[in-house]
Structure 1
Amino acid sequence: MDRMFYGCSKLTDLDLSSFNTSNVTNMSAIFRGCSRLKELDLSSFNTGMLQKATGMFGGCSSLTTLDLSMLDFKNVYQVSDMTKQGGSYGAMFDNCSSLVSLKLPQFSDIITNFSDMFCNCSSLTSLDLSSMNTSRALYMSDMFDGCRSLTSLDLSSFETSHVREMSYMFAFCDKLTSLNMSSFDTGRVTDMNGIFQSSHNLANLTIGENFVFVGSEYNLPSGTWYASDGTAYTSDGTTCTIPSNKADTYTRR
C-alpha cells in the first residue's frame, strides 16, 4: 500500500471499511498529499504486520482530527526518512496544518528517526506524547518545528541518550511558553543549532542533570532567566549562561 493514494489532492472522502490490511507491511506515504481530505476513519485497519509508516499522512493539510489510538504499531520501525539533505517520503504528520486533535498509537521501541514528525502541524494546541517510545531515537531535528499553536509541551517521558541531532527541534513554536525537557540526556548530541529559533514566547524551561547545551547557536530567547533559587542567567538570543548539567526550571522575566 506504499503511496496508494499519494497526491490525490482532489479526494474529499474515503471509505476504507472493506480493506483487508492484515498482511500489509508498508503504508509509507499512503495518504500523502491528500490535501482536501478532511476526515479519515482507520478503525477497520489491522496494522499488526505494519513496519513502515513513513510520511503516512504528510501534507494532509485539511485533516482536522485523526484518531490512531486503535492501531497496532508494535512492529513499526520507520515513521520518517528526513535527514539534513531531505527525504523521499517525509515524516508521518508533516504539514498537517489544520490538525487540531491527534491521538497517537502506542509506538514501538525500534524507531530511530523522529525528524520532522510534527513539522508544521501549526493548528495543534496540545499533544499527548505519552505513547511515544524514543529509547532508540537517533534523530529529532525539526520534530516540532512550526507547531505555532502549541503553548506547552511536556517531554519528560522522552529517552534521548542516543540522539545525535536536535537542530530546529522547537523552531517557530510561536506560542510555546512552557517546555519540560527534564529527562533529556544530550550527551551524544552533535547538532543543536536553532533548537529554540524564533520561539520568542518561551518563558519556562525545565532541564535535567544530563542536559548539555551544544554548540553556540541554539537560540534560546534573549533576556534574563532565573533559576528556582533566584540566580540570574542571561541569553543573547544565540547562546546563554545557563549552566549545563544543572537540573532546574528556569524562568524568563
Structure 2
Amino acid sequence: MKKKLLIGSLLIFILILIGIGMHWIFYSPTIAPKNSWYKAETDFSNIAQIDIVRNYKITGNETESWNADIDDKGRIKCYIIDKKLIISLKSFGEILANENSSKMFSEGKSLESINGINLLNTKNVTNMSEMFYNCGNLRNLDLSNFNTDKVIDMGIMFGGCIEIGELSLQGFNTENVENMAAMFFRCGKLKSLDVSNFNTEKVKNMRNMFSVCEGLEELDISSFDTKNVENMRDMFRNSNKLRSVKIGEKFVYTEDSCLAEGIIIK
C-alpha cells in the first residue's frame, strides 16, 4: 500500500514538473509598449529587414543586443547585424504584442521586409495607431493572421507606406474600432485593397482614410456602416484613379469626403 502511494506521489510530482517545464517551453512573453522595445543606438530608420524568430543562436556577428520584453528578463531578445534586426523569442510560444502597439514599427523608412510576423500575437492590442507609419520602403505586408478583436484605434496605421503594393487584411475584425482616420493615407502604390470584411459600426473618424491612394482604381466598401461617423472629411482626396466605389445601404456619403466627379457609385 505504501509502495503504491509512493509511486502515485512520484507520478504526480513528475506530472507537475512536466507541466512547469511545458509552461516555460511554450511561454509567450509580452513585448514592451509602443516603440520603447527598440533600444539600439542604430537609428530604427536605418533598419532594412526585420526577422522575428524563435530561439535565435548567436553567430558572433551581432553588433548590438538588448531585452525587449516588458519585464526586461530577456525572454524577448533583439540583435542587430548590419541593417538587419532580429527579434528572438526565447521559447516555442509566441510574442504577445503590447496592448499599446502604437508606433511599433513606425518611421522604418528603410524597412523592406518583416519576416515571421505570424509569431506576433496581437490578441491583447487595443491601439494600433501609426503601427507601420512612414515605412516608406515596405512593398508587401500580410497581416491576415492579426487578431484585432480588441483594437479601438487604427488611425494612420499604414499612413505613409508609399511603396506598399500588396496589403492583406483578410482576418481583420474591426467591430470595436472607433478611429480609422488616415488609415491608408499616401499608400500610393496600392492598386487593390480588400476591406470588404470591415465592420465600421463604431467608427467615428474616417478623415483622410483613403486619401492620396493614387493607384486605387476601385474600392468595395459595401460593408461600411457610417451611422456613427462624425468626420469623413477628405476621405478620398487625391485618389485620382479611383473610378468605381461599391457602397452599401448603410453608407452615407458626405460632400466633404472629396469623392471625385465621374466616379461610378454602385
TM-score (norm 1): 0.72
Q: Find the counterpart in structure 2 of residue 9 from structure 1.
A: 43
CA contact (8 A) 2:156 2:184 kept: yes
The count of residues paired between Structure 1 and Structure 2 equals 207
Secondary structure of 2:89's aligned partner: coil
Match of 2:256 in 1: 217
Write the letter of the residue equivalent to 2:223: S
Give the counterpart letter for 2:38 in structure 1.
Answer: F
Among 169, 174, 191, the alignment partner of 1:134 is 174
Q: Structure 1 regions of 5+ residues with no counterpart?
A: 26-30, 81-90, 228-248
Please report how far the alpha carbon of residue 197 of structure 1 lies from its aligned counterpart in structure 2 after TM superposition.
0.3
Letter of the 2:159 counterpart: C
Judge which range, 71-80 or 91-100, deviates more. 71-80
Distance 2:97 2:154 in 1: 21
Which residue in 2 is equivalent to 1:51? 99
Q: In the alignment, is the contact (CA less than 8 A) between 1:172 and 1:197 conserved in 2?
A: yes
1:76 Cα shift?
1.5
Question: 2-side partners of 1:134 and 1:181: how far apart?
Answer: 13
Shift of 1:41: 4.2
Gap runs ≥5 in structure 2 = 1-31, 58-65, 73-77
Q: 8 Å contact 1:171–1:195 — kept in the other structure?
A: yes
**Normalized per residue, which structure has more helix?**
2
Whichever residue aligns with residue 131 of structure 2, its letter is: M
2:134 is aligned to: 95
Counterpart of 2:256 in 1: which secondary structure? coil
Structure 1 residue 69 displacement after superposition? 1.8
Contact 1:165 1:191 in 2 (8 A): yes
Distance 2:188 2:97 in 1: 35
Residue type of the partner of 2:171? S
Deviations 1:213-237 (A, max 9, x none): 13x31111122x446xxxxxxxxxx
CA deviation vs aligned residue, 1:171-225 (integer Å, no higher than 9, x gap): 11111111110100001101000000000100111111111113x31111122x4
Structure 2 residue identity aligned to 1:5: Y
In 1: Cα distance, 2:140 partner to 2:50 partner: 19
Counterpart check, 1:74 vs 2:123? yes
Q: Deviations over 1:138-185 (max 9, x none)?
A: 000000000010011111110000100000001111111111101000
Superposition deviation, residue 14 in structure 1: 7.7
Out of 129, 143, 148, which is 2:183 matched to? 143
Distance in 1 (alpha carbons) for counterparts of 2:51 and 2:167 = 27
- Give RMSD over aligned pairs: 2.9
Match of 2:150 in 1: 110
What is the deviation of 1:74? 1.1
Deviations 1:18-38 (A, max 9, x none): 77767659xxxxx9xx9xx85
Q: Does 1:119 align with 2:119?
A: no
Letter in 2 for 1:72: N
Note the 1:177-192 alignment, pairs <5 A. Answer: 177-192=217-232
- The 1:208/1:39 distance shift into structure 2, 3 A limit, reads farther
Contact 1:139 1:164 in 2 (8 A): yes
TM-superposed CA distance for 1:47, in Å, is 2.1
Q: Determine if contact 1:66/1:103 at 8 Å carries over to the other structure.
A: no
Mapped to 1, the partners of 2:131 and 2:224 lie a distance apart of 23
Aligned identity (percent) is: 31
CA distance in 1, matches of 2:68, 2:195: 33
Q: 1:69 is paired with a residue of what secondary structure?
A: helix
Distance 1:64 1:200, change over 3 A: same
TM-score under structure 2 length normalisation: 0.69
Cα 1:24–1:96 change in 2 (3 A) is farther
Paired residue secondary structure (1:127): strand
The runs of 4+ residues in structure 1 deviating greater than 3 Å are: 10-25, 37-46
Deviation at 1:52, TM superposition (A): 2.1
How far residue 78 of structure 1 moved from its aligned partner, in angstroms, is: 1.7
Q: Could you say which structure has the larger radius of gyration?
A: 2
Shift in CA distance, 131/22, structure 1 to aligned 2, threshold 3 Å = farther
Give the Å deviation of 1:129. 0.6
In 2, distance between residues paired with 1:191 and 1:64?
33
